Amino acid sequence: MDLLLFTLGFVCIIIGIFGSFMPVLPGLSSCWVGLLLLYLTKAVENNYWVLGITLLITIVITVLDYIIPAKGTKKFGGSSYGIWGTNIGLIVGILSPIPFGVIIGPFVGALIGELIYDSKNHKRALKAATGSLLGFLASSFINFMFCIIFLGIFIHITWEYRNLLF
């Protein structure tokens, strides 16, 4: 049973790493589930501090995934219309069946929002939409970095309890 939980945990970590780049897959939350599965084995002693801190990090980063693109829009001169467009575009992008909808949605949403606000200033609208895209890329990078950290924790714990796991 331990080997099955270990294997499922490792698969969740790998899915999480890929999910940090491909929005269709769960990212950091999948990595956290991988750590949880490792701690559910009988071989590994429970460490609620590690699980609690990593869960808190996962929740904070997940919330930031929705905030950072909007902040990027605002930083690049976007109005409240652009921020609303980014958020609406993100939701539409998540729900849409098109590839890269999560990337395209906030960009197009910010662009449309800014064009509704000021239809004559295309340059400003494009700049705000670019801020949304850069915010999304920054968010993906942060996700990836924490997924790699979770992988490191997984490997460290596996190495520490290797005699009991295998």
CA–CA distance, 57 with 31 (Å, rounded to integer): 11
In whole angstroms, give the CA distance from residue 57 to residue 1.
28
118: helix, strand or coil: coil
Q: Which two tokens stand for residue 127?
A: 């700049």
Relative orientation angle of helices 48-75 and 80-95, to the nearest 10 degrees: 130
Q: The tokens 């924490």 sit on which residue?
A: 146
Looking up tokens 């993100």 gives: 90
Name the one residue in this structure whose structure tokens are 């409240």: 80
> Alpha carbon 136 to chain centroid distance?
9
Q: Are 83 and 74 a contacting pair, CB within 8 Å?
A: yes
Q: What is the pLDDT of residue 24?
A: 67
**What single string gives the DSSP state of each residue in 73-112?**
HHHTT--HHHHHHHHHHHHHHHHS-STTHHHHHHHHHHHH
How many other C-beta atoms are found inside a 10 Å radius of the C-beta of residue 56?
10
Per-residue confidence (pLDDT) for residue 23, from 0 to 100: 67
Tens-digit pLDDT string for the chain (166 aa): 889 999 999 999 999 999 887 766 788 999 999 999 999 999 999 999 999 999 999 999 988 887 887 777 778 888 888 888 888 887 888 788 777 777 788 889 889 998 998 888 888 888 888 888 888 788 889 999 999 999 999 999 999 999 988 8
Contact 12, 154 (CB under 8 A): no
Are 166 and 4 within 8 A, CB to CB? no
Cα distance between residue 135 and residue 79, in whole Å: 15
Query: Does the pTM exceed 0.85?
Result: no
pLDDT of the residue at 160: 93
Determine the pLDDT at residue 110.
Answer: 86
